Amino acid sequence: MSLPPLVEPAAGLSVDEVRRYSRHLIIPDVGMAGQKRLKNAKVLIVGAGGLGSPALLYLAAAGVGTLGIVDFDTVDESNLQRQIIHGISDVGKPKAQSAKESIAEINPYVTVVLHPERLDSSNVMEIFAGYDLIVDGTDNFATRYLVNDACVLLHKPYVWGSIYRFDGQASVFWADYGPCYRCLYPEPPPPGMVPSCAEGGVLGVLCASIGSIQVNEAIKLITGIGDPLAGRLMIYDALEMSYRTVRVNKDPECAVCGKNPTVTELIDYDAFCGAVSDEAAEAAADSTITATDLKGMLDRGDAIFLVDVREPNEYEIVSIPGATLIPKGEFLSGAALERLPQDKRVVLHCKTGVRSADCLAVVKNAGFSDAVHVGGGVLAWVSQVDPSLPSY
């Protein structure tokens, strides 16, 4: 399936621009017309992180005239393993600003527009309205459904990518011509079922593999060349070194792009995707302590049994002194319960407080009614109690 070019050509290219883009201009499929379309294009990248970094660098180098960046985060040392648009001197700086400076170094003909805010239902339509297409570099389901629905409602193409450990996926969702993200994934996975890259890790170079596919697709859509990934899902396995594509059909029953859509305006995406499961939220409601509370308990010598429910490799990176490692899987199987003492108060923690809330529900159901978990997990311990420890 080929599609008409998304963007009209700019009036012309300067002599400097002709020199800069000569390797594009001599490709017959791109040529002067294609490069002028790139110059006139306005592309929004959601997230200047793992996928956003290579995507922004290549979109800028390719001569996309306007790049918007949505990101409210700041650069952390642990980002540098894969977020190659940022450097050592950017640590602590807003990612959007850092990305803008890198782009200026690569291509001064690109106009960069910063949106240093969290994308949500209240601002997404206004931000997206100014762009021709959206490239998604985010790592969470709430934002993906938000971006998808906004793109469907605004009739804009959504270039999607996803990464985890050694596995990547990419596609183009454009409801006017094919399926949307909801046609492929009608429902978000249950909270806690799919680990994020922050929990499960990601091979740094995988970001480039998938981010470059996203740029490739953006360029094809803008210039109207080739067969876009619309209606196909690209699946990449870095360990096998295999790329394969599977067909994705438009779902006539799709909630947002189907024949009788039930989603005709934006919804509450945090509630739709559920940050934590209902059971976990209920268990944690009156049983969440802060990292500072935990420090007080340890200093006083309270009778507590501190359990770290993360994975062994995470425990190796950083752990709270005195914590016993019992990974979450052992709570879900029930095996962990016989390791918990009856005469001490059980205190659970994980990285950020999501997994420990799931385990807390299991522990409370088993009768440990005074058990608690640490809100914010070991990351809160590092930031509030012992900043000398590494965060990840």
Give the nearer residue to Zn ion in terms of CB position, either 250 or 345: 250
Q: How far is the CB of 230 from Zn ion (least distance, A)?
A: 12
User: Of residues 151, 197, 257, 273, which has the active-site annotation?
Assistant: 197
Q: How far is the CB of 45 from Zn ion (least distance, A)?
A: 23
Q: How far is the CB of 181 from Zn ion (least distance, A)?
A: 7
> What element of type H or E holds 126?
helix 124-129
| 170 and 161 Cβ atoms separated by less than 8 Å | yes
CA–CA separation, 73 and 71 (whole Å):
6
Asked if 350 is an active-site residue, the reply is yes
Give the nearer residue to Zn ion in terms of CB position, either 151 or 283: 151
Asked if 254 is an active-site residue, the reply is no
The identity of residue 226, as a single letter, is G
Please tell me what DSSP assigns to residue 189.
P
Give the nearer residue to Zn ion in terms of CB position, either 175 or 361: 175
Give the nearer residue to Zn ion in terms of CB position, either 185 or 315: 185
Give the nearer residue to Zn ion in terms of CB position, either 29 or 253: 253
Tokens standing for residue 90: 């950017």
Q: How far is the CB of 221 from Zn ion (least distance, A)?
A: 18
Give the nearer residue to Zn ion in terms of CB position, either 249 or 324: 249
Q: Which of residues 256-285 bind Zn ion (CB under 5 A)?
A: 257
Q: Which of residues 330-389 bind Zn ion (CB under 5 A)?
A: none
**Which residue lies nearest Zn ion, judged by its C-beta?**
254
Distances (CA, A) of 259 to 30, 150, 263: 36, 17, 11
Does 103 bind Zn ion (CB under 5 A)? Our answer is no
Per-residue x/- track, 301-330, Zn ion (CB under 5 A):
------------------------------
CA–CA separation, 26 and 31 (whole Å):
6
Distances (CA, A) of 75 to 83, 89, 136, 351: 9, 10, 19, 19
Query: Exposure of 57 by Cβ count < 10 A (0-12 exposed, 13-18 middle, 19+ buried)?
Result: buried
Does residue 166 sit in helix, strand or coil?
coil
Q: How far is the CB of 148 from Zn ion (least distance, A)?
A: 8
CA–CA separation, 106 and 61 (whole Å):
6
- The count of chain residues that interact with Zn ion, using the rule CB under 5 A, is 5
| 266 and 153 Cβ atoms separated by less than 8 Å | yes
Per-residue x/- track, 154-193, Zn ion (CB under 5 A):
--------------------------x-xx----------
Q: Which of residues 231-260 bind Zn ion (CB under 5 A)?
A: 254, 257
Does residue 91 sit in helix, strand or coil?
coil
Q: How far is the CB of 257 from Zn ion (least distance, A)?
A: 3
Report the candidate in 277, 266, 295 with the shortest Cα–Cα distance to residue 146: 266
Residue 374: strand pairing partners: 289
| 309 and 353 Cβ atoms separated by less than 8 Å | no
Per-residue x/- track, 13-32, Zn ion (CB under 5 A):
--------------------
The identity of residue 21, as a single letter, is Y
Q: Which of residues 111-140 bind Zn ion (CB under 5 A)?
A: none
Give the nearer residue to Zn ion in terms of CB position, either 151 or 222: 151
| 42 and 68 Cβ atoms separated by less than 8 Å | yes
Q: How far is the CB of 128 from Zn ion (least distance, A)?
A: 17
Give the nearer residue to Zn ion in terms of CB position, either 21 or 174: 174
CA–CA separation, 43 and 134 (whole Å):
6
Q: How far is the CB of 258 from Zn ion (least distance, A)?
A: 6
Q: How crowded is the C-beta side of 73, counted as CA atoms within 13 Å?
A: 18
User: Of residues 151, 207, 257, 350, which has the active-site annotation?
Assistant: 350
Residue 69: strand pairing partners: 45, 114
CA–CA separation, 283 and 357 (whole Å):
7
Active site residues: 197, 350
Binding site for Zn ion (CB under 5 A): 180, 182-183, 254, 257
